[in-house]
Chains A and B, each alone.
Chain A
């Protein structure tokens, strides 16, 4: 089936690709009962419910799935997983989808933050929470960063006042290069499989 712009909307290859990911088997397991949306923390502001996301994956509606804010609003609270009759860990499916969305260049505030966060892990092996917001600010652009700084000034000041944000990065792991080697090897092994 084609959309108005002639681009194929339903892509069976997309479905297959998700099935092959780490949590793809769960997408197959879902029986579309609709319990998860009723338990979901942020269902009200998600553009598609978790159940609907699964349905869209099966339909091969790549665009709708990967641009959905649902992927990024999922808080990984695991509430749905507690109640799903099939035991589907929806957040794990979301994690796979986030990875796909990243690869395909769908950008959100949360994907920016994920990158900044990961860069810290790769560089030092540990997160420097105090620096995270700063680097995130750089990533979202000066205009957005200033807006954030204005809105969050009160929270930030209190955090500083109560010594909750370290001004300097705490020490990282002894040999971050080795940690990176482990991650690179893991990525290579994951690729072999996929």
Chain B
């Protein structure tokens, strides 16, 4: 399996762990990832407020054009919910001939062009539907027996492109992977609530109030840790957990890992390859059997 890989800006900063763990896991699974050369920020959901919707879509489309130029007919895979939503929605716009013409007129300024022929895929989709749970199960040399894991999918990766690969309200892909790794996927309250994403930077008090019920829900359900595929969710649940404990007088101590990190561990990769040191809430006690 071969892909055009779009890592997104978070992979160069707050989500370095995800970047490294995904590369290591992909290698184990025989996934060939070719990072889109010279990719640019997809613009997230904030750029359009400054330059307007169309230019923001063109910004995202530059990546699609680069991918097509570098590897034709090869799906794009991304590990960030927000990037997936933006790139995927922009990709869909290319079905509209008028949009396509206009966008390509702008892309010509960088000698680029895009046909609209690629698929934009999210990490979980690729793992479950291209690789398959059987293969993941087979690669799990050190199954996570006895570990209780709360899978937090977040919203954008399932709700923005509704029904692309999973149910937007009751997603299952993440839990399937957790189970394939030998762990128990626990159901928990508020698993479908939003963590408030990028508001964490400008209105942290709102984010603290939003992450609390999610973390608390997972803790009450008996989870040892939380996993998520999304860089923003990971950061909010991990970095704001202490603040939430303080504000709501709780003692929750739930490590928050990227699903790629949990896979790396189950695949028998080292603590370094799994990027565990990047975790703010220490995962070492809960994972002592596997590290």
Residues of chain A at the chain B interface (Cβ within 8 Å): 21-23, 41-42, 45, 73, 75-79, 81-82, 91-92, 95-96, 98-99, 101-102, 109-115, 117-118, 120-121, 125-130, 132-133, 136, 151-152, 154-155, 158-159, 162-166, 170, 173-175, 178-179, 181-187, 189-190, 193
Q: A121-B41, A133-B201, A174-B38 are in contact. Are A113 and B46 (CB under 8 A)?
A: yes
Asked if residues B106 and A118 are in contact (CB atoms below 8 Å), the reply is no
Determine how close the nearest CB of chain B comes to the CB of A108; give it in whole angstroms: 8
Q: A73-B199, A82-B159, A173-B38 are in contact. Are A99 and B48 (CB under 8 A)?
A: yes
Task: Give bound CA distance, A128 to B242, whole Å.
Answer: 25
Asked if residues B159 and A183 are in contact (CB atoms below 8 Å), the reply is no
Residues of chain B at the chain A interface (Cβ within 8 Å): 9-10, 12-14, 16, 38-41, 43-56, 58-59, 62, 85, 102-103, 105-110, 112, 155-156, 159-160, 162, 168-169, 193-194, 196-199, 201-204, 206, 210, 235, 239-240, 242-243, 277-280
Asked if residues A41 and B194 are in contact (CB atoms below 8 Å), the reply is yes
Task: Give bound CA distance, A128 to B55, whole Å.
Answer: 21
Determine how close the nearest CB of chain A comes to the CB of B85; give it in whole angstroms: 7
In the complex, what residue of chain A is closest to B195 when comparing beta carbons?
A75
In the complex, what residue of chain B is closest to A22 when comparing beta carbons?
B53
List residues of chain B with CB within 8 A of the CB of A190.
Answer: 52-55
Task: Give bound CA distance, A15 to B279, whole Å.
Answer: 48
Asked if residues B202 and A110 are in contact (CB atoms below 8 Å), the reply is yes
Looking at the complex, which one of B110, B196, B278, B280 makes contact with A41 (CB distance below 8 Å)? B196
Task: Give bound CA distance, A76 to B81, whole Å.
Answer: 11
Determine how close the nearest CB of chain A comes to the CB of B179; give it in whole angstroms: 25
Task: Give bound CA distance, A112 to B43, whole Å.
Answer: 15
Best-buried of B48, B49, B56, B196 by chain A (most CB within 10 Å)? B49
Looking at the complex, which one of B10, B105, B160, B202 makes contact with A189 (CB distance below 8 Å)? B105
Task: Give bound CA distance, A193 to B99, whole Å.
Answer: 11
Task: Give bound CA distance, A3 to B61, whole Å.
Answer: 45
| 13 more CB-based (< 8 A) A-B contacts, given A45-B206, A76-B156, A95-B49 | A92-B53, A96-B53, A121-B59, A125-B40, A126-B39, A129-B12, A159-B239, A164-B235, A170-B13, A181-B110, A182-B110, A183-B106, A189-B105
Asked if residues A164 and B16 are in contact (CB atoms below 8 Å), the reply is yes
The total number of A-B Cβ pairs within 8 Å is: 207
Determine how close the nearest CB of chain A comes to the CB of B229; give it in whole angstroms: 15
Determine how close the nearest CB of chain A comes to the CB of B110; give it in whole angstroms: 4
List residues of chain A with CB within 8 A of the CB of B169.
Answer: 82
List residues of chain B with CB within 8 A of the CB of A130.
Answer: 13
Asked if residues A118 and B50 are in contact (CB atoms below 8 Å), the reply is yes
Asked if residues A113 and B202 are in contact (CB atoms below 8 Å), the reply is yes
Asked if residues A187 and B51 are in contact (CB atoms below 8 Å), the reply is yes
Task: Give bound CA distance, A98 to B210, whole Å.
Answer: 23
Task: Give bound CA distance, A41 to B105, whole Å.
Answer: 38
Q: Can you list 17 A-B pairs, Cβ within 8 angstroms, ordered by A?
A: A77-B156, A78-B85, A78-B159, A79-B194, A111-B49, A113-B198, A120-B41, A121-B43, A129-B14, A136-B202, A159-B239, A164-B235, A164-B239, A166-B12, A182-B62, A182-B112, A183-B106
List residues of chain B with CB within 8 A of the CB of A184.
Answer: 109
